[in-house]
């Protein structure tokens, strides 16, 4: 297989994304556009540019990137401060500006990997995981790279590398079920049980996501499934939403959920991508509210973990 996987990050020694110590592989490209997303650089399924203004030394007289862009994307204002025209940058494949920037303020945030290159990295990390560890495929949305992902998963089975996936489950059902034939452990996000609110927060409806979860449970899949909810104040932290999700979980014999507390760790990336971050001063959820939501699930015989306080 000659196809390359588009990866925006690989993190070794992760302990919060599945059993044991793991290597996380983050695919780029995502069908959802969550307004609170911590990895907005993962939205586009191609190479693209980020500009970190706080690293730029324009105020020290640096002009290394001036006239380097073949498309004329980089402009300088009256204070000699550079900016980029992102619609122009979308055409670029060479990113001369990145290679010439001495301060790393310009970054091309996607790299191509072959299947064998991914396996080489995983075999390198193998001895660091311990008996329960392995690889977790995340993103972005790894299902957008399903053909490449399946080839990697097949080789993981060959080398007895435990695998996990973090997914929105927003993919054609036949693709979703085909990938899950090779998956051993899964986190699936359910952002909101209300169809319209789900679209308002993520850009897509939740019908396909919920349907795929139901199909997976009916398929006889033998892996472990933990639902996840990034808990956003004013969006999905209501008792009503929790009770709807509890009903859905019971109907489908699902008894584990991980409530993730809202954070703003991705805000800087939004700025670097020229995007407006709507959750700059809203979305917070108190610890007391998280405990209250946890109790609703526990009272209904559903194991509920808050944040990284998990048994995996």
142-190 pLDDT per residue, tens = 999 999 999 999 999 999 999 999 999 999 999 999 999 999 999 999 9
- Contact criterion met (CB below 8 Å) for 42 and 51: no
Rounded to an integer, what distance in angstroms lies between the CA atom of residue 292 and that of residue 278? 26
CB 6 within 8 A of CB 144: no
What is the spatial distance between Cα 137 and Cα 140, in angstroms, rounded to a whole number? Answer: 10
If you average pLDDT over residues 53-80, what whole number do you get?
A: 92
Q: What is the CATH number of domain 49-108?
A: 3.30.70.20
Comma-separated ranges of CATH 3.20.20.70 domains in the chain:
5-45+111-306
pLDDT over 70 at 2, yes or no: no
Q: Is 11 helix (H, G, I), strand (E, B) or coil?
A: strand
- Facing residues of 50 across strands? 107
Q: Which residues pair with 83 in a beta bridge?
A: 75
Tokens of 278: 């709507």
- The answer to whether 201 and 235 are in contact (CB under 8 A) is yes
User: Spelled out in words, what is the top-level CATH class assigned to the domain 5-45+111-306?
Assistant: alpha beta
User: Band of the pLDDT at 90, cuts 50, 70, 90?
Assistant: confident
Place of tokens 């399946």: 150
**Reduced to 3 states, what is the DSSP secondary structure of residue 199?**
helix
Radius of gyration of the chain measured on its C-alpha atoms: 21
Chain segment 115-147, per-residue pLDDT in tens: 999 999 999 999 999 889 999 999 999 999 999
pTM of structure: 0.94
Residues of the chain with CATH 3.30.70.20: 49-108
């Amino acid at each position: 297989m000659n196809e390359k996987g588009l990866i925006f990050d690989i993190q070794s020694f992760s302990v919060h994304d599945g059993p044991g110590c793991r290597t996380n592989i983050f695919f780029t490209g995502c069908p959802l556009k969550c307004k609170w997303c911590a990895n907005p650089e993962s939205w586009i399924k191609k190479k693209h540019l980020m500009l970190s203004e706080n690293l730029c030394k324009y105020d020290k007289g640096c002009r290394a990137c001036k006239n380097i862009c073949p498309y004329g994307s980089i402009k300088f204002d009256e204070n000699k401060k550079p900016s980029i025209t992102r619609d122009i940058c979308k055409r670029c494949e060479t990113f001369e500006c990145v290679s010439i920037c001495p301060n790393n303020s310009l970054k091309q945030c996607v790299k191509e990997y072959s299947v064998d290159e991914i396996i080489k990295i995983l075999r390198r990390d193998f001895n660091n995981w311990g008996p329960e560890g392995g690889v977790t495929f995340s993103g972005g949305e790894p299902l957008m790279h399903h053909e490449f992902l399946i080839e990697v998963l097949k080789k993981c089975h060959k080398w007895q590398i435990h695998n996990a996936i973090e997914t929105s489950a927003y993919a054609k059902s036949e693709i979703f079920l085909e990938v899950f034939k090779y998956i051993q452990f899964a986190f699936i996000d359910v952002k909101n049980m209300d169809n319209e609110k789900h679209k308002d927060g993520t850009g897509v409806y939740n019908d396909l996501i919920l349907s795929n979860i139901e199909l997976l449970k009916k398929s006889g899949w033998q892996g472990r499934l933990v639902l996840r909810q990034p808990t956003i104040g004013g969006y999905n932290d209501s008792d009503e939403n929790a009770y709807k999700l509890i009903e859905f979980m019971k109907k489908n014999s699902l008894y584990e959920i991980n409530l993730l507390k809202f954070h703003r760790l991705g805000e800087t990336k939004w700025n670097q991508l020229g995007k407006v971050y709507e959750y700059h001063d809203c979305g917070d959820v108190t610890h007391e509210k998280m405990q209250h939501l946890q109790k609703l699930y526990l009272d209904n015989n559903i194991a509920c973990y808050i944040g990284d306080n998990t048994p995996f």
